[in-house]
Structure 1
Amino acid sequence: MRPLLSLVSGAWGRRIVIGLPFLWLALFFLLPFLVTLKIAFSPSINGIPPIGPILGLTDDGALRITLHIENWSYLFQDPSYVIAYGRSLLTAAITTVLCLVIGYPMAYRIARASPRMRPLLLILVIMPFWTSFLIRVYAWIGILKDNGLINNFLLWTRIIHQPLQMMNTQFAVHLVMTYAYLPFMLLPLYTTLEKLDLSLLEAASDLGGRPIISFLTVTLPLSLPGIVAGSLLVFIPAVGEFIIPTLVGSPGHQMIASVVFDEFFSNRDWPTASAVATAVVLLLLVPILALVWLRQRNDAKLIASS
């Protein structure tokens, strides 16, 4: 028994602990992605196609790998795909900026609150997650619709004389997405700002630095890891958001997730849908790799300066 315990707690134990997350990612992320990538290079078949021909299996059970690029050419020939990609990236970028502008002051205030108040403030931030995401979106529909809470209040106060059109607009999409993804920006920012050494701000003040100068030269650069982490946590899922644009957005302003849904379930064109979905993943790798490179470069500069 003891040799077994020593084996588990030794080098093999560390390998098992490290290997399990990689095994999980390989089974539930890498393998499905490779299957989707193979389907994206398969010939287009009307209706729900059999899995065998899509994966390259012939009638005699042999594996034959053929790559068809027709599905990828549709992404550049049909302007609707390009427009959907651009709209998704723009919406995600606006949502990320709004979450950063709103979330940074909130995270800074929570980080500077008393130790007794911080847990309560953090609970208020994560409390919306205790309810269903779909229910929260439907609650916003009740707030934004023509006879909703906002319009009824404005009509009652006679600020307006007819309801404002807020539902089925890009304004509603940006508003609800900012609300939904704000905690994903706020929590990494709080984690970074809470660890900030206040003596650095005191030193900047002693050297004659104004509060705004101290913030721009000390607080903001040291909080960049939280900004990068929060931006990634907001931007990546916002690009593929499906529920919010479908429920509160305009039907004529489809995002890429709606296009993938229509290709899979309406057109029943698996290869084209897989190509669209794979292109989203490849497209998101660019900002991720760029932010990782900038962070590594910043860390290298800090190590060199120290």
Structure 2
Amino acid sequence: MEQHWTRAKGAFAAVFTPTVFWLFAFFLIPLGIVWAYSFGQNDGLVDIAITGTFKNYARVLEPLYLLIFVKSLWFAFLTTALCLLIGFPVALAITFASEKTKSWLLLLIMLPFWTNLLIRTYALMAVLRTEGYVNWGYHWLWDRASGLMQAAGMQPLGVFTPLELLHNNFAVVFGLVYVNLPFMVLPLYAALDRLDRSYLEASLDLGAGHLRTLMRVVVPLALPGIASGILITFIPALGSYLTPDMLGGPDSQMIASIIERQFKRANDWPFGAALSFMLMYLTFAAIAIQAVLNRRAPESR
């Protein structure tokens, strides 16, 4: 017979108390201090005076920082959309693969998590740089095509110009998709793997094609997984720092890079705290929207 937790309060407290202490001491209290800083101003080189001012939040709405916020939102939205377009077929393929193949495919999806993000980013730079593997392959194809055209008596191609794949917006989005794709695939796979396949068989038996079955049956039933994947992909992409900092150029700054500069270089902690919490408020808004959509989903069925 199972024992209710209220009858074992001592054991419950012994397990629960260290967790709560750790949460308060190393997460909520420091977070509260940074939140208080966002309502303060610098008092000398080191001290911060908490004055209750809102000028730091008003400064966030200046066109310069507002534009960076909009750009960060756009990069995060584009990254999430591309991860969804790429990740949904991948998750679908894993779902309908054999058990042995499924295990290997899941291992390949989770394998990047075993490598440090910095190392993966440097590897991506080696692929995308001017002398990287992509331009090397492109140069090889250029030379082969030019040789074939010359052999056929045609005008050969001109001087090879390498592709500019690094230190621009393309590199930032490509890197964000590369980093965040597993966060989309795994929730989608979890949702698709729980599907009742009799629905798919019934749809096909009633004359619906594979594409119509996918759009009318599979996608609606996988909406919880799609919503979860969008959320846990969008939020890390929005607050990403390392990827845009290493792969992007001067016009590819995201809000996390501006926050880092306020804390380290500009020594303007109150404004950096305000920027950080504006990012957190956007995160809370995204979570709230997902909660509302999930609450309304059963009513629409």
TM-score of the superposed pair, with normalisation by structure 1? 0.86
Counterpart for residue 71 of structure 1:
56
Structure 2 counterparts to residues 243-282 of structure 1, below 5 A: 243-282=242-281
Counterpart for residue 36 of structure 1:
34
Deviations 1:206-250 (A, max 9, x none): 222222221122110110111111111110011111111111101
- 2: CA distance between counterparts of 1:92 and 1:71? 24
Deviations 1:19-68 (A, max 9, x none): 77665544443322221110000123453x23xx54x5xxxxxxxxx401
AA aligned to 1:242 is: Y
- 2: CA distance between counterparts of 1:184 and 1:201? 26
Counterpart for residue 63 of structure 1:
none
- 1: CA distance between counterparts of 2:267 and 2:196? 56
1:101 aligns with 2:85: yes
Deviations 1:93-139 (A, max 9, x none): 00000100000000000011111211111111111122111011001
AA aligned to 1:39 is: Y
- 1: CA distance between counterparts of 2:17 and 2:224? 26
| Contact 2:172–2:252 under 8 Å retained in 1 | no
Name the % identity. Answer: 35
- 1: CA distance between counterparts of 2:108 and 2:163? 30
Deviation at 1:301, TM superposition (A): 3.8
Counterpart for residue 3 of structure 1:
none
- 2: CA distance between counterparts of 1:298 and 1:17? 36
Counterpart for residue 283 of structure 1:
282
Residue segments in structure 1 that go unaligned for 5+ positions in a row: 1-5, 57-65
User: Secondary structure, in 3 states, of the residue corresponding to 1:157?
Assistant: helix
1:145 aligns with 2:129: yes
User: Secondary structure, in 3 states, of the residue corresponding to 1:44?
Assistant: strand
Aligned in 2, Cα 1:40/1:16: closer, same or farther, shift over 3 Å? same
Structure 2 counterparts to residues 105-144 of structure 1, below 5 A: 105-144=89-128
- 2: CA distance between counterparts of 1:8 and 1:224? 35
Deviations 1:186-219 (A, max 9, x none): 0011111111110011111222222222112211
Counterpart for residue 61 of structure 1:
none
Coordinate RMSD, CA, aligned: 2.2
- 1: CA distance between counterparts of 2:19 and 2:82? 33
| Contact 2:187–2:225 under 8 Å retained in 1 | yes
| Contact 1:204–1:214 under 8 Å retained in 2 | yes
- 2: CA distance between counterparts of 1:235 and 1:212? 27
Counterpart for residue 154 of structure 2:
none
Residue segments in structure 2 that go unaligned for 5+ positions in a row: 146-158
AA aligned to 1:120 is: W
| Contact 2:169–2:251 under 8 Å retained in 1 | no
Aligned in 2, Cα 1:21/1:222: closer, same or farther, shift over 3 Å? farther
Deviations 1:118-171 (A, max 9, x none): 111111111112211101100111111111111111112216811111111111
| Contact 1:95–1:174 under 8 Å retained in 2 | yes
| Contact 1:46–1:268 under 8 Å retained in 2 | no
Deviations 1:62-102 (A, max 9, x none): xxxx40112112112x3221011011111000000010000
User: Secondary structure, in 3 states, of the residue corresponding to 1:252?
Assistant: coil
Counterpart for residue 139 of structure 2:
155
Deviation at 1:300, TM superposition (A): 3.8
- 2: CA distance between counterparts of 1:8 and 1:161? 72
AA aligned to 2:53 is: H
| Contact 2:95–2:189 under 8 Å retained in 1 | yes
Aligned in 2, Cα 1:28/1:199: closer, same or farther, shift over 3 Å? farther
Aligned in 2, Cα 1:22/1:215: closer, same or farther, shift over 3 Å? farther
1:226 aligns with 2:225: yes
1:88 aligns with 2:72: yes
| Contact 1:173–1:249 under 8 Å retained in 2 | yes
- 2: CA distance between counterparts of 1:149 and 1:197? 44
- 1: CA distance between counterparts of 2:25 and 2:18? 11
Between 14-23 and 273-282, report the one with greater CA deviation.
14-23
Aligned in 2, Cα 1:190/1:72: closer, same or farther, shift over 3 Å? same
- 2: CA distance between counterparts of 1:252 and 1:24? 40
Counterpart for residue 165 of structure 2:
166
Deviation at 1:11, TM superposition (A): 5.1
| Contact 2:39–2:54 under 8 Å retained in 1 | yes
